[in-house]
Amino acid sequence: MIGLISNEMMKIVNRKLTWIILFLLIAITAGSFVMNKLTEEPVSDWRAEQSELIERYQGQLEIDELSPQMYADTENKLQIANYRLEKDIAPVSENPWSALLRFSGLIEMVIIFAIVIAADVVSREYTSGTIKLLLIRPHSRAKILFSKYISVAVFALCMLAIVFVTGYGVSAMFYGFGNLGTKDLFLNAGGEVTEMNVFLQTVKMYGLSFLPILSYVTLSFAISTILRNSALAVGISLFIMIVGNSIIEATSRISWLKYLPFANSDISLYIFHLPARPEMTLSFSLTVLAVYIAVFAGLSWMVFKKRDTA
């Protein structure tokens, strides 16, 4: 099995596409953090700034067109700002962990790239005809498919780690290495303002995001295995991802949508206390994703095992 996985890793690593993706991943991550630093305005008096923010948030809440998601977000921010002034807790000075937390969007980029790699890993063997020599070896088809799946998952995990490390590295150049003990104000699952360790929140967000990434990887992998067409696999997966983002909003109105993977695939919603529906919890989302992963993986296995390889 180790041999099979190292074969698959060799095939991923030796492709040009992989290196283009890794380059883009690092360039975009580094670029985002640099841009953030360039547009940053120095804060002289945090109390005055917070009062200003409170006014702005209150103004925003009066606008009717605000989407439910935006509304909740503004409310949360308002609550934290009020709490700060009340308890006289200054915002934490800029540090790499807080910066990483703010760039949760980078995780979506990892998802997109992981979809592209996963879409190719099985269908490419068919289009190049190499599937024939791959299958006439003393290994069951299940093992061969599984080794491919594990390799893509490992590669996606590496991309997530690269984003984390690059983001941390670039921020550390601007703000220093940061203190593992730094605490900041967050809303807990019950909606109360609480002091939490920033480093642990960051690790939690990036670490748990592996599950949504894996669910898109599994989707793309399954489509590519079943249809043997990588373009379709990328297309369908990206379409679902984009449509999925707008479904998060609809989920607040239509309750059964919460059982679809979309509203569950953004872990940052839980870090910032913005669940699509009040009854949705982090463990609910993780369970839903795990079920989808199992179903997609099972489907690709069933099709791959049975198929006549022409």
Partner 1 sequence: MNQQPIVQFKHTTKIIGRKTIVNDLNFDVLAGEVFGFLGPNGAGKTTTIRMMVGLIKISRGDILINGHSIASQFEQAIRHVGGIVENPDLYKYLTGYQNLKHYARMDSGISKKRINEIVEHVGLKESIHNKVSSYSLGMRQRLGIAQALLHRPSLLILDEPTNGLDPAGIRKLRNNLKELAHQEGVAVFVSSHLLSEMQLMCDKIAVLQKGKLVSIENVQAFISKDSISRVYLEVEASQTELTKMLIADLNKTAIAGNGPNELWIQMNKDEVPELNKLLLDNGIRVLSIHVQERTLEDKFLEMMGEEK
Shortest separation between residue 137's beta carbon and partner 1, angstroms: 4
Alpha-carbon span 185 to 57, nearest angstrom: 17
- Does residue 42 belong to the site contacting partner 1 (CB under 8 A)? no
Exactly one of 139, 183, 204, 277 binds partner 1 (CB under 8 A); that residue is: 139
- Does residue 44 belong to the site contacting partner 1 (CB under 8 A)? no
Alpha-carbon span 261 to 83, nearest angstrom: 34
Residue nearer to partner 1 on the CB measure, 16 or 86 = 16
- Does residue 308 belong to the site contacting partner 1 (CB under 8 A)? yes
Shortest separation between residue 58's beta carbon and partner 1, angstroms: 58
**What tokens does 89 get?**
């807790």
Main-chain dihedrals φ then ψ at residue 13, nearest 5 degrees: -65, -30
Inter-CA distances, 10 with 5, 7, 108, 121, 155, Å: 8, 5, 26, 12, 11
- Does residue 10 belong to the site contacting partner 1 (CB under 8 A)? yes
Residue type, 245: N
- Does residue 150 belong to the site contacting partner 1 (CB under 8 A)? no
- Does residue 20 belong to the site contacting partner 1 (CB under 8 A)? no
Stretch of residues binding partner 1 (CB under 8 A), selected from 49-57, 129-137, 240-248, 252-260 = 129-137
Q: What number of chain residues touch partner 1 (CB under 8 A)?
A: 23
- Does residue 15 belong to the site contacting partner 1 (CB under 8 A)? yes
Are 116 and 21 within 8 A, CB to CB? yes
Exactly one of 64, 181, 246, 310 binds partner 1 (CB under 8 A); that residue is: 310
Shortest separation between residue 15's beta carbon and partner 1, angstroms: 6
Three-state SS at 164: helix
- Does residue 38 belong to the site contacting partner 1 (CB under 8 A)? no
Are 208 and 282 within 8 A, CB to CB? yes
Q: Residue ranges of the alpha helices (H) in the chain?
A: 2-13, 16-38, 46-62, 68-87, 96-102, 106-121, 123-127, 131-135, 141-175, 198-208, 210-227, 230-251, 268-271, 282-306
Residue nearer to partner 1 on the CB measure, 18 or 179 = 18
Binding interface with partner 1 (CB under 8 A): 3-4, 6-7, 10-11, 14-16, 128-130, 132-133, 135-140, 308-310
